[in-house]
Amino acid sequence: MALFSKANDGKLEQLVCVTGAGGFIGSWVVRELLLRGYRVRGTARDPGDSRNAHLHELEGAKEKLSLLRADLMDPESLRAAFRGCHGVFHVASPVSNDPQDLMPVAVDGTRNVMSVAAAEGVRRVVFTSSYGAAHMDPNRSPDDILDEACWSDYDFCARTGNWYCCAKMMAEMTAKEEATRLGLELAVVVPCVTTGPMLQKDINASNNQIGRYLMGTKRAYPNAVASYVDVRDVARAHVLAYETPGAAGRYLCAGVVLHRAQLLGMLKDLFPQYPVTAKCEDDCNPRARPYKFSNQRLKDLGLEFTPLEKSLYETVICMQKKGHLPVIAKQQLRANL
């Protein structure tokens, strides 16, 4: 049986559910699905909250989007959300560094999503993990390639208080175990630090950090490297992983790895009128080396990654328009980005 049924106009008529639809990544996943013709049911703790108003403004939302209240810890609410759906995009995730808050919702919530999805006849789940579940391993050699086979060191994460990474690891493992047990098709997208323009009104954590660096309110930057990707690429990765026949397992969603100094240099080049953070908090030791990584599995699905310069520029312009950053001087239009 083909995964998709099409109407006479050629557009997909499948009903899919996106958990955490109002968040930074969830909103873009909803938008991408609507643009591709899906009927989308989004979940939120309070669908009527003004923080979800942007979803109703998306193209196609009036005809093809509905929002339902759902709580990951309430299987009955998930049952109503998943009923009649062909697929589920499990994007929702608790944001906290308190293990007592994080672990039950991340792990038991994921178990609930998988079990209810199977019970409601859902065929395919795309799970949003995090590269926090893949790259936090102090024993990995700088010459090793970070790819889908890599996992963070749980004990190291717990010892250093990185409970979010612990929670994402356990949630991803739970999703895989439950998919195997229940006979669900599962694909896992593993995004890294995610930048890009926001659809939602409130600022998200990664873009907030960009803003703090741009304004110099973060006095110094660490001697560290990180991987970056545009949120629109993350959304496209989710849909490609859902639509591609046979797509399964993990997909590392990373566009580039940079030292923090390189990131800030890029911001300074783009917006020289801002007091971009210039001091390294650890300039006595050699600069940390960017690690090697592979995003080939997503490229094989057809994903083309957005250049980070373009992503950062559009991130800052978006934050200005939404009032999260002052416009210090009028930027020259960068039509070449």
**pLDDT classification of 141: cutoffs 50, 70, 90:** confident
Say which residues have a Cβ less than 8 Å from residue 246's Cβ, sequence separation at least 6. Answer: none
Q: What is the 3-state secondary structure (H, E, C) of 111-160?
A: HHHHHHHHHCCCCEEEEECCHHHCCCCCCCCCCCEECCCCCCCHHHHHHC
pLDDT at position 13, please? 79
The radius of gyration of the chain from alpha carbons, rounded to an integer in Å, stands at: 20
pLDDT in tens, 61-73: 999 999 999 999 9
Total Cβ atoms within 10 A of residue 227: 23
CA distance 304 to 95: 29
CA distance 211 to 315: 9
pLDDT at position 6, please? 39
Establish how many alpha carbons lie within 13 A of residue 205's alpha carbon, considering only the half-sphere containing its beta carbon.
Answer: 6
CA distance 163 to 182: 28
Strands 39-44 and 87-90: unpaired
User: Residue range 321-337: average pLDDT?
Assistant: 73
pLDDT above 70 for 233:
yes
Among 308, 307, 305, 314, residue whose Cα is nearest residue 334: 314
Residue 337 or 227, more confident = 227
Cα 183–chain centre separation: 25
The CATH code of the domain at 4-196+230-255+289-306 is 3.40.50.720
pLDDT above 70 for 223:
yes
Q: Nearest 5°: phi and psi at 143?
A: -90, -10
CA distance 125 to 242: 8
pLDDT at position 331, please? 54
Which string of DSSP letters, residue by residue, matches 206-267? HHHHHHHHHHT-S-EE-S-EEEEEEHHHHHHHHHHHHHSTT--EEEEE--EEEEHHHHHHHH
pLDDT in tens, 250-308: 999 999 999 999 999 999 999 999 999 999 999 889 999 999 999 999 999 999 999 99
What does the mean pLDDT of the chain come to? 92
Q: Which range among 111-125, 207-221, 233-247, 278-292 shows the weakest confidence by mean pLDDT? A: 278-292
Sheet with 15-19, strands from edge to edge, namely 65-69, 39-44, 15-19, 87-90, 124-128, 185-191, 249-253
Say which residues have a Cβ less than 8 Å from residue 115's Cβ, sequence separation at least 6. Answer: 75, 178, 182
- Identify the three-state secondary structure at position 68: strand
Please pick, among 64, 168, 176, 218, the residue that the annotation labels catalytic: 168
pLDDT above 50 for 310:
yes
- Identify the three-state secondary structure at position 322: coil
CA distance 71 to 78: 7
* 220 close to 277: Cβ distance less than 8 angstroms: yes
* 247 close to 241: Cβ distance less than 8 angstroms: yes
Say which residues have a Cβ less than 8 Å from residue 62's Cβ, sequence separation at least 6. Answer: 56
Annotated active-site residue 168? The verdict is: yes
CA distance 118 to 128: 18
- Element housing 327 (H / E): none
**pLDDT classification of 5: cutoffs 50, 70, 90:** very low
Lookup result for tokens 């789940």: 125
Q: Kindly report the pTM of this predicted structure.
A: 0.93
